[in-house]
Amino acid sequence: MKIDLHCHTKYSYDASSSIESIIAQGKKMGLDGVAITDHENTNGWEEAIELGKRHNFLIILGEEMKTTKGDVLGLFLKEKIDGYKKDPRWVMEEIKKQNGLVVIPHPFHGSEGFRDDITKYLDLVDAIEVFNARKPGTSPDKKAMEFAKENNLGIIAGGDSHYYKAVGYAYTEFDGNTEEELKQSILNKQTKIKGAKAPLVYIVTPLLAKIGLLKS
């Protein structure tokens, strides 16, 4: 199965698209599912689960949190975590309490990278986002892949889409059909990373959609 494990909906402050349009675009791109990973909230979860069932499309529940040292991505969550401006270790421990996976997204991408030594958190980190379709440049992604291999961590890829047309440019591939099989594939280092960088225009399209100049 092919899953884009980093998607933002209109419930993120810097994104614009409906969950319906994200699922439709995902299916168009050949995906079997997406992770809903809005910033600091889980407002889209219930709707996403309902639409996922309707469209036979796997939905993974997640949240991206801006900690004091950079973003931390929680996947396979059950409840919202108030991680904004909190210590990353505290956020990671909260993810673990829910039996979720701790992922460091775009760890080496400049100002949006993780601003601390990730090796200090290896007792809690499960995986690294080793390919981010939204961030320009491939060197940070290569560095992330090398880091994951050196530290025996799982690997994922995601579009980090903030506009529906950017969904599915990068995705995580695994053998299986269920949420639990995906989770175990990440933990067992059995996932494959596929995709390409999204067109740079999708960096500005969320703003244009928010002000009504584009479909969202």
171-186 pLDDT, tens digit each? 999 999 999 999 999 9
- C-alpha–C-alpha distance, residues 173 and 27, integer Å: 15
- Does CATH number 2.60.40.1180 belong to domain 2-210? no
Ramachandran region, residue 105 (left: φ > 0; alpha: ψ -120 to 50; beta: rest): beta
pLDDT, tens digit (0-9, with 9 covering 90-100), for 117-174:
999 999 999 999 999 999 999 999 999 999 999 999 999 999 999 999 999 999 999 9
- Which two structure tokens, joined as six digits, stand for 29? 């791109």
Reported as a pLDDT band with limits 50, 70 and 90, residue 206 is confident
What are 64's strand-pairing partners? Answer: 39, 73
Give the predicted TM-score (pTM) of the model. Answer: 0.96
Q: Is the dihedral of CA 42, 46, 52, 53 positive or negative?
A: positive
Tell me the average pLDDT across 53-71: 98
